[in-house]
């Protein structure tokens, strides 16, 4: 099987790829800064042919978050801006990013709907506000009845609500008319991120920007209409494993997530 194809992004350098080449999805800068249009930015850099690159690019989630902070200095001390970390792993990246930008941090719960035979395989996702997304190809293949779908959703909704209470998700009204910087540790299929963005959009933020260390190139293109901007340090063709791009990618326990949130809440 061919290795993941790494597309280096403007302004990102690492051993062996110091030249900033590639294409970045623009979107609007935070309110109060000079805007950068998606159309202008996307057209300024032709997407280069893929280069083979062996991961990892970051030793851990904290290192990836600090690297993102370097790319997002326009957000530093931005009035009203809030970093949203998607638990669990996204909170570790978001905490480092929030610290680097002097911004407060808040969680936003989202849950994967797993394949009945292999729960690690995502076939859908749920998020606050009644958001339920399904991978339609997987549904057709599995032939899940409406009753089976409802059971999957109910099981994960209980965990979603537990995390909302435990981590202290903000009330939707607290996000209205605020610039939101949504952070995860990486995006492969995009189901959970898409659900989180749809849920957060219901809160009517002033701006909704997604920032991730690594993302699948095709998924990035699919997410463009859902956000005002997308910043990724690496866009990868055929991304199969987010964890492969980190030296250490252990699962975060609830206690660690709570500690990170306590250190960076506004």
- Helix pair angle (146-167, 254-264), 10° resolution: 50
Q: Which of 146, 134, 118, 107 is nearest to 195 (CA)?
A: 134
Span 212-265, pLDDT tens digits: 999 999 999 999 999 999 999 999 999 989 999 999 999 999 999 999 999 998
Residue 117: per-residue pLDDT = 78
For residues 58 and 262, the answer to whether their CB atoms sit within 8 Å is: no
CA dihedral 128, 84, 226, 147 (to 10 degrees): -20
Residue 77 CB neighbours (<10 A) = 9
For the chain, give the percent of residues with pLDDT over 70.
Answer: 79
Tell me whether strands 5-8 and 51-52 are parallel, antiparallel or unpaired: antiparallel
Span 171-184, pLDDT tens digits: 999 999 999 999 99
Residue 182's contacts (CB-CB under 8 Å, 6 or more residues apart) are: 84, 86, 108, 193, 196, 197, 200, 208, 209, 210, 211, 227
Domains and CATH numbers, the chain: 5-109+167-264 (3.40.50.2020)
- Largest Cα span, the chain: 53
Output the CA–CA distances (angstroms, integers) from residue 25 to 41, 42, 115, 232, 255, in the order listed.
6, 6, 32, 8, 35
Residue 41: per-residue pLDDT = 31
Residues paired with 157 in a beta bridge: none
């Amino acid at each position: 099987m061919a290795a993941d194809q790494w597309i280096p992004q403007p302004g990102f350098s690492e051993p062996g790829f110091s030249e900033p080449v590639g294409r970045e999805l623009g979107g609007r800068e935070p309110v109060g800064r000079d805007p950068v249009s998606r159309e202008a930015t996307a057209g300024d850099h032709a997407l280069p042919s893929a280069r083979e690159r062996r991961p990892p690019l970051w030793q851990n989630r904290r290192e990836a978050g600090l690297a993102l902070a370097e790319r997002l200095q326009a957000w530093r001390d931005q009035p009203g801006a809030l970093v949203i970390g998607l638990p669990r792993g996204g909170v570790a990246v978001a905490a480092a990013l929030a610290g680097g930008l002097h911004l407060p941090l808040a969680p936003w719960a989202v849950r994967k709907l797993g394949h009945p035979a292999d729960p690690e395989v995502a076939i859908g996702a749920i998020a606050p506000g009644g958001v339920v997304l399904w991978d339609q190809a997987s549904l057709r293949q599995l032939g899940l009845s409406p009753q089976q779908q409802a059971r999957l959703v109910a099981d994960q909704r209980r965990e979603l609500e537990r995390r909302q209470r435990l981590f202290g998700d903000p009330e939707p009204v607290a996000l209205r008319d605020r610039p939101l910087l949504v952070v995860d540790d990486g995006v492969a299929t995009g189901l959970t991120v898409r659900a989180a963005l749809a849920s957060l959009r219901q809160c009517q933020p002033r701006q909704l920007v997604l920032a991730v260390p690594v993302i699948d190139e095709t998924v990035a293109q699919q997410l463009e209409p859902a956000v005002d901007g997308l910043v990724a340090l690496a866009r990868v063709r055929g991304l199969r494993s987010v964890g492969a791009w980190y030296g250490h990618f252990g699962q975060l326990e609830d206690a660690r997530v709570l500690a990170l949130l306590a250190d960076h809440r506004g």
